[in-house]
Amino acid sequence: MDLKQAARERFGTVESELREISHWMYDNPEIAFEERNTSARLVEFLRSNGFEVDYPSFELDTAFAARAGTKGPEVVICAEYDALPEVGHACGHNIIAAAALGAGVALLEAADELGFRVRVQGTPAEESYGGKVDLINNGAFEGAALSMMIHPSPADVVDPDFLGVAHIDVEFHGKESHAAFAPQLGINALDAAVQAYVNISTLRQAMYPTDKVHGVITYGGGAPNVIPAYTAMSWYVRAATKPRLDELESRVLACFEAAAKATGCTYEVKPLGHTYTDLISDPLMVELYQANSTELGRPMGRGADRDPGAAGSTDMGNVSHVVPSIHPMVDIKCLPAVNHQKEFAAATVEPPGDQAIRDGALAMAWTVIDIAAGNRWAELRKIEK
């Protein structure tokens, strides 16, 4: 029995429904930890296709765990499905979810034939909060043999670089006063926010090309004639490794402290969600996925061939530190639009976006089949506990 052909045929029986799900998600975006309707629809699909589903799962209300197969190593395929505020599915999580479901269905026969278990794991709140870190902490990846997902992109890259990231909110507290009549009696919290921004801008000359720090003022005051007593900012700090991220984050925190001292304000730092680590791609899975994607008519580039500064962040990086993992980027022919733009969201429901669902799902399924059929589980990257 040609298990890859069987996987292709099984995927074909649900492909049109997966496209409908992706398009429905585009029309009905739900942000982090609020993906109630979305997770319910994904669960309905998985149950109707023979999966045993725990929902909610691993102590998260919008997570699910859909399982098939009865014995052998467990393969975890991650489905992301949260949208971004204001721009909807501008990171393409509708394609990610549909491809994960498709890979799971495509592997049903192979799981029984080759003796492995497949789990489609619903992973909420990838944007900002790091739902996969909660899942790791709650045991979702314990004992898993490997994990994988795909992500839509303006390019095909099998082993992309991803940076670690810390999400930081900071608040400055001063004292209000009349801005014209008695400014000397106020303590200007907006000055502190502006000074913090300038401090970080000055820090940039001491950063590596792979360091990224970007922020916004989320509240700057209520009226021009009132000295602001309160301001708030939100920042992302990124770096290529966790040690470098820790070092850079400490210097950013020093920028906040210096701004508060210089203006006479007090300040409060509030970490948002979890810190994401860099992504480690498993060499065997990279090799097999690249070959399978090429066979499907989609040759994949390598991360080493790209600008190392052109990288985002993902909580799949945290997963890759506890389970052998891959996170290929799949081109949806969207340029000049890129991730986190409304134009990118619109491209996810165009024909190249639909093709990404098929190619991503089958390349993942065929990669698992190659590992299981060749009994190559022991060749996966060893994770130090």
Strand (E) positions, 194-261? 212-219, 230-239
> Does 385 score more than 80 pLDDT?
no
The predicted-structure confidence for 341-355, as pLDDT tens digits, reads as follows: 999 999 999 999 999
Lowest-confidence segment of 24-33, 74-83, 235-244, 302-311 by average pLDDT: 302-311
> Does 1 score more than 80 pLDDT?
no
Verdict on whether the full-model pTM lies above 0.75: yes
Residue range(s) of every CATH 3.40.630.10 domain in the chain: 3-162+278-379
The predicted-structure confidence for 76-110, as pLDDT tens digits, reads as follows: 999 999 999 999 999 999 999 999 999 999 999 99
CB-count exposure of residue 148 (10 Å: 0-12, 13-18, 19+):
buried
Over residues 172-201, the mean pLDDT reads 96
Which CATH architecture group holds 3-162+278-379? 3-Layer(aba) Sandwich (3.40)
Provide the percentage of residues in the chain whose pLDDT is more than 90: 94
Beta bridge partners of 226: 178
- Options 3.30.2040.10, 2.60.120.460, 3.10.20.30, 3.30.70.360; CATH of 164-271: 3.30.70.360
Q: How far is the first Cα of the chain from the last one, in angstroms, to the nearest whole number? A: 38
306 band by pLDDT with thresholds 50, 70 and 90: low
Confidence (pLDDT) at 271: 85
DSSP H or E run through 155: none
Q: What pairing do the DSSP bridges indicate for beta strands 164-173 and 230-239?
A: antiparallel
